[in-house]
Structure 1
Amino acid sequence: MSEGEQGGAGTGPDAAATPASDAHAPRGPRGPYRKTEERRRQILDQAVVVFARRGYHSGSLREIARGVGMTVPGILHHFGDKESLFQAVLAERDQRVRQAAGDVSEQNLIEQFRAVMRAVADEPGLSSLYTIVSAEATDHEHPAHGDFRERYAENARGVIPALIAGQQDGTVRADLDVMQAARVIPAVMDGLQQQWLLDATFDLETAFDDFLRGYLLPR
């Protein structure tokens, strides 16, 4: 049995609150629970580094544990098994990209795409993680295979209405096949990221902007 198959156990208050309400406001975790959360954060950060460098199969719990000064059983105490830790890493990647992209709810679709690509450029480790793992996940036996299939499908489902809205308001060309575009755009984003990871001098954001102008904007 591999180390990844062995199992184990297991915001702050509003700044505008009045002094009276502060006395009863919920506080962040304290004591042992806070230490547990801090340790989980350390493990996640190190797991992002290891999986981004080596992928899921080659990235070992032993290397992650060594990076945070723990044992493999200690890692398993917090995350149960390697696959659970890996799923937590993917969720962490998504959260970091969303935070880096900022609030895109008031932006049009093209501005949203640009914001996401800027966020990716600011976090090369997360880009590496996604690129390596998405390639691994083409294997039907990979633990993230179903996850990545659903990610791409869900992304397409979300992009199609936004593309249609863009056609209606004139920001997206009217003759665009939105069903096809919903798959093409993420594929281009992934491919550009791969080239950028191979050659740091490659201007990722400019290349993506050129693509958006040529593919999406009205002619």
Structure 2
Amino acid sequence: MVVEQPPIRRGPRGPYAKSEQTRKAILDAALKVFAESGYRSGSLRNVADRVGMSEAGLLHHFPSKSALLAAVLERRDEQTQEQFDFDPSHGAEILRSLVKLADYNASTPGVVELFCTLSAEATSPEHPAHQWFRDRYEFTRSMTLKGFQDLAEKGELRAGVEPEAASRGVIALMDGLQIQWLLDRDSVDMAADLRSYVNTLVEHPL
């Protein structure tokens, strides 16, 4: 029997491929610059220098610093979702992934500091990352809530635990632990503390 082979998917070629490669290089450089210097102090010139291009060349790909920041945050989220399983139909896996994410974040202190600083600054509606953080928290709450609802339907939440409150509590704990860890990294283990809290909510420890 002859089995028809699926078409071979090839990556982009030519100028588009080169442009996409350059774009990713800019985003990776911008993440490092913003993580090291902060969004306000990190300049487009710093980013362009790291990529080995002119500031005008960078602006060809990203028309403004705020547009670059938005793309950097999106890329960071894409990288996170590629590494960890956040399928809301498997509540226990979501919680395990959050613990793994907390452990991973401990290896990227500059990024954690950038996130904490930006999230505070972005409470202002005029901040370029304001809408991104609103959307991100809404998505994270929705995902975590569905995970806890899945556990509740399976009878795997402890008595009295409400999925809505649990989802908000986990997010608040992760954010709070990050700040405490940045202030004193030797006395805070983000992953261990998050796992300990989650285990008070579920019937089967992670």
Same fold (TM over 0.5): yes
Q: Pick from 126, 137, 141 the counterpart of residue 152 of structure 1.
A: 137
Per-residue CA shift, 1:153-189, capped at 9, x if unaligned? Answer: 2322232232232223232223123323222211110
Amino acid at match of 2:196: D
Runs of 4 or more above 4 Å deviation = 102-107
Q: Which moved more, 1:163-172 or 1:133-142?
A: 163-172
Tell me the TM-score normalized by structure 2. 0.82
Aligned to 2:179: 194
Compute the displacement of 1:146 (Å).
2.0
Gaps of 5+ in 1: 1-17
Aligned to 1:25: 8
Compute the displacement of 1:102 (Å).
4.3
Q: Against the structure 1 CA distance between its residues 154 and 33, is the aligned structure 2 distance closer, same or farther, given a 3 Å change threshold? A: closer
Amino acid at match of 1:207: D
Aligned to 1:4: none
> In 1, are the aligned partners of 2:86 and 2:143 still within 8 Å (CA)?
no
Amino acid at match of 2:9: P
Q: Against the structure 1 CA distance between its residues 87 and 169, is the aligned structure 2 distance closer, same or farther, given a 3 Å change threshold? A: same
* 2:194 is aligned with 1:211: no
Q: Against the structure 1 CA distance between its residues 110 and 124, is the aligned structure 2 distance closer, same or farther, given a 3 Å change threshold? A: same
Aligned to 1:121: 106
* 2:42 is aligned with 1:62: no
The 2-side partners of 1:101 and 1:119 are apart by: 10
Q: Against the structure 1 CA distance between its residues 208 and 128, is the aligned structure 2 distance closer, same or farther, given a 3 Å change threshold? A: same
Amino acid at match of 1:183: R
Compute the displacement of 1:76 (Å).
0.6
* 2:27 is aligned with 1:44: yes
RMSD: 2.7
SS at match of 1:38: helix
SS at match of 1:57: coil
Compute the displacement of 1:204 (Å).
1.8
How many residues end up aligned between the 2 structures?
Answer: 199
Compute the displacement of 1:132 (Å).
2.1
> In 1, are the aligned partners of 2:121 and 2:127 still within 8 Å (CA)?
yes
Q: Pick from 163, 166, 183 the counterpart of residue 178 of structure 1.
A: 163
The 2-side partners of 1:106 and 1:186 are apart by: 18
Amino acid at match of 1:56: Y
Q: Pick from 147, 155, 166 the counterpart of residue 162 of structure 1.
A: 147
Amino acid at match of 2:198: L
Q: Which moved more, 1:70-79 or 1:122-131?
A: 122-131
Q: Against the structure 1 CA distance between its residues 80 and 44, is the aligned structure 2 distance closer, same or farther, given a 3 Å change threshold? A: same
Q: Which residues of 2 match residues 123-138 of structure 1 at below 5 A? A: 123-138=108-123
Per-residue CA shift, 1:7-42, capped at 9, x if unaligned? Answer: xxxxxxxxxxx9x969x6332223332222221111
Q: Which residues of 2 match residues 81-96 of structure 1 at below 5 A? A: 81-96=64-79
Tell me the TM-score normalized by structure 1. 0.78
Give percent identity, aligned residues only. 39
Aligned to 1:3: none
> In 1, are the aligned partners of 2:174 and 2:190 still within 8 Å (CA)?
no
